Amino acid sequence: MRPAMPAPGPGRPGALVLRGLVKEYRPGQPVLRGIDLVVPDTGLTAIIGPSGTGKSTLIRCINRLVQPTAGEILFRGEDLAKLSGRPLRRARRRIGMVFQEYNLVERLSVMENLLCGRLGYVPAWRAWLRRFPQADVERAFDLLDSVGLSGFATRRADALSGGQRQRVGIARAIMQEPEIILADEPTSSLDPKSSVEIMEILVQLAADRGVPVVVNIHNVALARRFASRIVGMSGGHVVYDGPPEGLADQDLRGIYGGENWLE
């Protein structure tokens, strides 16, 4: 098994730095066991590993949907693990989140779902009356073009296919003007063609806007094809951290277990 990259240090800058991250849902039974990880300022980082190894927990700790038990989550130098209340809400505005099950408001239109990405930036009364600034509306139309949904602005979310819903979810995340994008199994509910298209959109939008993407993904082939870096997890530890071309069969056997499943 190729060893993981060394723990973060002062000479290794990154958009996101995790130090000694631990998460226990039950005392004494950690899901994450002291994760050290640096996410660079650009590119797509794919996190792979078997079910139950802590991939989704890691993503959810980063954006504080889950409270970590111990450790640091340094985002642009600010420790997210220590934030609460208004400072945490401000920090979350800078983190775009793409969910496995889309997390759209089904009865609202595509445009209204996109504008939900601006809720952290507009007064509550504007959001309640759905009176968003014209600049936000124009940007939402541009993003619909970017994700291949031109002409879908007035379509209800519950009338869309899975791939189309995920495109809306990505566009909504970009509407936040994030400094990093987190995606939790964004292709797991999609067919192979839609999965490739979603990964292409994530890579292109992130490159166009100069923000890093962290994707939790089961599909190793997609990770190899689109990631600039792969992090392999097993048993709550990082056991591989390196380029896609360096991920060998022996690494995959170590990550997923067993000897014959690759043959």
Which tokens hold the place of 159? 């009338």
In 3D, which of 226, 232, 263, 261 has the Cα closest to residue 247? 232
DSSP state of 46: E
Q: What is the mean pLDDT of the chain?
A: 89
Amino acid 6: pLDDT: 39
Give, in words, the CATH class of 15-91+212-263: alpha beta
Residue the block writes with tokens 């009338």:
159
Q: Is the pTM of this model over 0.85?
A: yes
Amino acid 225: pLDDT: 96
Kindly report the backbone phi and psi dihedral angles of residue 196, in degrees, each rounded to the nearest multiple of 5, phi listed first.
-65, -45
What distance in Å separates the CA atoms of residue 44 and residue 129, rounded to the nearest whole number? 37
Encode pLDDT of 172-230 as tens digits.
Answer: 999 999 999 999 999 998 999 999 999 999 999 889 989 999 999 999 999 999 999 99
Which tokens hold the place of 230? 């792969």
Amino acid 132: pLDDT: 82
